[in-house]
Chain A
Amino acid sequence: MSRDVESVRGGIAELLPRLRRFARSLTRNAADADDLVQVTVERALGRAEQWRPDSPLVHWMFGIMKNAWIDESRSRGRHRRWFVRDVDVEDVRLPRSGDAGDLLSVTAALELLPDEQRLAVTLVLVEGLAYKEAAAVLDVPIGTLTSRLARGRQALMQLLGETEQTS
């Protein structure tokens, strides 16, 4: 096994909690999220030599996960579940937060965003990446990232009933 693969492997082990969180914000439930993490880890190990140490490993992994997620959601259709199972239909229910009354929970609202906006919102607001870093993960110019982010924020505010009365 080459040194590249071994150092990437060690790095990935430490990143699993963050990879799981990113996956959770993209998929509907924990099982699907872990499927996505697994695919991502396998792809990353298969091309470990492509990682450049000048960018953080986690950003490289997020990029791989983003592509894996897009591939899957395209091939299966936007509204179909990841890796369809026939049993756990219950999991598909949208999560609702206990204290938000009739309003959507923030996680349910996030699920309703178009993929592009969801990725931008997740990388910046959940994962805490800088604009420059998020743009690099998504492979888009910063201006594209910020406009997707703005539209995503606006949509979330509307879904959560937090828009200003005046605007």
Chain B
Amino acid sequence: MNVEERIAAYVDGELTDEARATLEREASIDPALAARIAREQGLRMRLTRAFEPVLAEPIPERLQAAVSAAVTIGEPARRAARFTVPQWGALAASLLLGVIVGAKFLGGDPMLTTSGAGLTAGGALESALTSQLPARAAGRDAVIVGLTFKARSGEFCRTFTARTREPFAGLACRDSERWRIDALAAMPPVAGGDVRAAGSALPSEILAHVTDRIEGEPLDAEAEADAQARGWRP
């Protein structure tokens, strides 16, 4: 397989565990590859999102009639219950601890802080979420913001990857005053220990959270700049 086919197979969930791990390792030291993967993930998500609303539409009577009046058709399929609380259960406690500890290695304020409301962004993570616009992200930034979108709740949410010693990725949503961390996942370790070189491809579990919450399509650069200018207020 050439690299294009590997990226496609990765995004489509067609790689073996081993091949997937290999590609993730390569992406972790090759930002251009990571960016290509992210673009393909973005395309797949846009397509999925574009047609998903059809599933929730009421079924026209003529189609029900075509199937047969004798067959009872229930309510049109609604989406499964929306994700409302961070699904920390899916995240092993040790991993979370590693991420939080790892987040301090860069020095400065910790990137993740706990408050009564749960986990919130701090330090370099908070400032990246608040001010980084992808077009201006520098290759050496410790935190790279990925997709920005409006959630069904009306909040703005952004995905990010943090290139700490133990790289991690996550989803943060903006409530009235802070960036709430709603999902976190560890990234493959960085080869050669170069903490600045970690990739920015989103782990699929984070992407799944995005798919679950997004309203419409991700913001384009202009809409993103606009939302930032308005302080990320819904």
Contact = CB atoms under 8 A, between A and B. Distances in A.
B8 interface: yes
Interface stretch (B47-55, B91-99, B135-143, B168-176): B47-55
Interface stretch (B38-46, B80-88, B101-109): B38-46
A12 to B, nearest CB: 5
Contact of B67 (A12, A25, A99, A103): A12
B77 interface: yes
Nearest to A162: B39
A165 to B, nearest CB: 11
Contacts of A59: none
Interface size for chain B: under 10, 10 to 19, 20 to 34, or 35 or more residues? 35 or more
A73 interface: no
A9 B73 CA distance: 11
Nearest to B59: A16
A100 B217 contact: yes
Contacts of A97: 216-217
Interface in A108-138: 110, 121, 124-126, 128, 130-131
B17 interface: no
B213 interface: no
Interface residues of A, number: 45
B63 A99 contact: no
A103 B221 CA distance: 12
A153 B40 contact: yes
A14 B77 CA distance: 8
A125 B47 contact: yes
At the interface, is chain B mostly helix, strand, loop or mixed? helix
A124 B12 CA distance: 7
A162 B13 CA distance: 22
Given A157-B39, A160-B43, A131 B63 contact: no
Contacts of A81: none
Interface stretch (A34-42, A50-58, A62-70, A83-91): A34-42
B53 to A, nearest CB: 9
Contacts of A110: 47
B190 to A, nearest CB: 23
B36 interface: yes
B177 interface: no
A83 B64 CA distance: 20
Contacts of B73: 13-14, 16
Contact of B47 (A13, A126, A150, A166): A126
B36 A164 contact: yes
A9 B67 contact: yes
B5 interface: yes
Contacts of A9: 67-68, 71
A130 B14 contact: yes
B66 interface: yes
B186 interface: no
Q: Which of A37, A125, A162 counts the most B-chain CB atoms under 10 A from its CB?
A: A125
Nearest to B2: A150
A41 B63 contact: yes
A126 B57 CA distance: 17
Instruction: Give 7 closest A-B pairs by Cβ, nearest first.
Output: A21-B54, A17-B55, A106-B46, A17-B77, A125-B47, A41-B66, A13-B73
Given A9-B67, A101-B220, A156-B43, 7 more contacts: A13-B71, A17-B76, A34-B62, A41-B63, A130-B14, A146-B5, A150-B4
28 contacts: A10-B71, A12-B67, A16-B76, A17-B56, A17-B57, A24-B54, A25-B51, A34-B62, A38-B62, A38-B63, A38-B66, A41-B66, A45-B67, A97-B217, A99-B216, A101-B222, A103-B220, A106-B43, A106-B47, A121-B47, A126-B50, A146-B8, A150-B4, A153-B8, A153-B40, A157-B39, A160-B46, A162-B42
